C-alpha cells in the first residue's frame, strides 16, 4: 500500500516536469500578462493565449517560441470549444472578464464552463486543470442583513456599495458554473488589485471577508502555483499581499490548510485577523471611497461616514469601470 501512495506522490510531483500546454484567457490584461510571464519560467510549459485582438496581443505579450497567440471569441462557446480542441491543451488559467455585447452577461459565465469541459479529464487526486481569477467580495451583495452588520468592515466598502454592472454577483455565478462543470477547479479571489502595491507574501483566507491590497505579480504566482498543487483542487479562497514579507518558496502548505467549505466560526476568526492586516494606521475600510488609498484615509484626504451613500466622485469612478468592462 505504501508503494501506491509513494507512486502517486511521485507522479503528482512529476506532473510539473512533463511538457504541458496551458491556455491563458484575458492574456492581454495586466494580470493575464503577469500570468504568461510566470508560466514562461517553467521551460516545459507552452502557453496558448486566447485573445480578442491579435495586434494588441503581439504588442504586449513576449515574443517567445513557447508563447502562441490565437484569436478566440469568448462570447461564443462553440468557438471556444473548437479552439480548445484544435490544439494541445492541458489546463487553463482564466483571467478574462468583461460584459458580453448583451450588456448584462459576463463572458466568464458564457465560456468558462465550456472551456473547462473541453479540457482532458484529470485523475481524482491530480491538481486542478482549471484555475479561475475571480475577485474578493463576490458573495457580499448577497449577504443577509445580519451578516452585513456582523462583518461591517468587509461589507460597507466601495466595491460592494457600488458593484458596477452588478459584476460581483455575476462573477459568483461564473464560479458556481465552473464548479458544476468540473471538480478539477480552483478559484482565486484577490482583494484590491493595485499597481502601486509591492510584491510581498500572498496570504490566503476563506469566507469572503478579506479586505486589503494584492500585488498583481503575486496573484499571477498564486494562480500558476495552484496548477501544480493537488491541495488547491476544488478550493476557493481569497488572497491579499502582506507587504514586507517575501513570497514563500512553496504555497503547498498554505493550499493544504484551506477548507473545501469554511465553517462560520472559522470565518468570524478570519474576519478578526484580516482587519488587523489592513494597510495604513486607521485600518477602517468603511471610510474609504472607491479609487482612494488607505493612506489617504490616514492623511485625512478621505473620511467617509460609515453607512453613507456613495459620493458623486465614486459613482463616476464606478461608471467608468462598468464602461471599461464593455470594451
Ligand X SMILES: *[C@@H]1O[C@H](CO)[C@@H](O)[C@H](O)[C@H]1NC(C)=O
> Which residues are near ligand X by CB under 6 A?
53, 55-56, 59
Question: Please, what is the minimum distance in Å from the beta carbon of residue 59 to ligand X?
Answer: 6
Residue 39 or 61: the one with the smaller Cβ distance to ligand X is 61
Distance between CA atoms of residues 201 and 134, nearest Å: 19
What lies within 8 Å, CB to CB, of 156 at 6+ separation is 148, 285, 286, 306, 307
Own/partner contacts of 191-194, CB < 8 Å, gap of 24 or more, are: 191/136, 191/137, 191/238, 191/239, 191/240, 192/136, 192/159, 193/31, 193/219, 194/293
Residue 107 or 225: the one with the smaller Cβ distance to ligand X is 107
Q: Which of 258, 259, 222 is closest to 131 using CA atoms?
A: 222
Question: Please, what is the minimum distance in Å from the beta carbon of residue 73 to ligand X?
Answer: 12
Distance between CA atoms of residues 203 and 265, nearest Å: 19
Residue tagged 469601470 (cell numbers): 321
Residue 55 or 276: the one with the smaller Cβ distance to ligand X is 55
Question: Please, what is the minimum distance in Å from the beta carbon of residue 20 to ligand X?
Answer: 29
Question: Please, what is the minimum distance in Å from the beta carbon of residue 74 to ligand X?
Answer: 14
Question: Please, what is the minimum distance in Å from the beta carbon of residue 57 to ligand X?
Answer: 8
Residue 28 or 84: the one with the smaller Cβ distance to ligand X is 28
Residue 79 or 148: the one with the smaller Cβ distance to ligand X is 79
Amino acid at each position: 500500500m505504501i508503494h501506491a501512495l509513494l507512486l502517486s506522490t511521485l507522479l503528482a510531483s512529476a506532473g510539473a516536469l512533463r511538457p504541458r500546454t496551458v491556455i491563458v484567457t484575458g492574456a492581454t490584461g495586466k494580470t493575464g500578462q503577469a500570468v504568461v510571464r510566470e508560466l514562461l519560467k517553467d521551460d516545459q510549459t507552452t502557453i496558448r493565449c486566447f485573445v480578442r485582438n491579435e495586434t494588441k496581443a503581439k504588442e504586449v505579450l513576449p515574443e517567445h517560441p513557447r508563447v502562441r497567440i490565437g484569436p478566440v471569441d469568448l462570447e461564443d462557446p462553440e468557438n471556444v470549444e473548437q479552439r480548445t480542441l484544435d490544439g494541445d491543451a492541458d489546463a487553463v488559467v482564466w483571467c478574462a472578464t468583461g460584459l458580453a455585447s448583451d450588456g448584462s452577461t459576463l463572458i466568464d459565465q458564457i465560456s468558462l464552463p465550456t472551456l473547462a469541459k473541453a479540457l482532458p479529464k484529470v485523475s481524482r487526486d491530480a491538481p486542478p486543470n482549471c484555475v479561475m481569477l475571480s475577485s474578493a467580495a463576490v458573495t457580499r451583495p448577497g449577504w443577509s442583513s445580519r451578516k452585513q452588520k456582523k462583518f461591517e468592515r468587509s461589507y460597507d466598502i466601495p466595491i460592494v456599495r457600488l458593484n458596477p454592472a452588478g459584476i460581483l454577483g455575476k462573477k459568483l455565478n461564473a464560479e458556481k458554473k465552473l464548479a458544476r462543470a468540473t471538480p478539477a477547479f480552483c478559484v482565486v479571489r484577490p482583494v484590491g488589485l493595485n499597481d502601486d502595491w509591492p510584491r510581498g507574501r500572498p496570504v490566503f483566507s476563506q469566507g469572503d471577508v478579506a479586505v486589503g491590497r494584492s500585488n498583481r505579480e503575486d496573484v499571477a504566482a498564486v494562480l500558476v502555483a495552484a496548477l501544480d498543487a493537488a491541495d488547491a483542487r476544488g478550493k476557493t479562497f481569497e488572497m491579499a499581499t502582506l507587504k514586507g514579507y517575501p513570497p514563500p518558496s512553496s504555497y503547498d502548505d498554505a493550499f493544504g490548510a484551506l477548507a473545501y467549505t469554511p465553517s462560520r466560526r472559522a470565518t468570524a476568526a478570519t474576519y478578526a485577523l484580516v482587519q488587523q492586516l489592513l494597510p495604513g494606521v486607521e485600518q477602517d475600510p468603511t471610510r474609504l471611497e472607491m479609487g482612494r488609498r488607505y493612506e489617504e484615509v490616514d492623511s485625512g484626504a478621505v473620511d467617509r461616514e460609515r453607512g453613507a451613500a456613495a459620493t458623486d466622485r465614486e459613482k463616476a469612478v464606478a461608471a467608468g469601470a462598468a464602461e471599461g468592462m464593455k470594451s
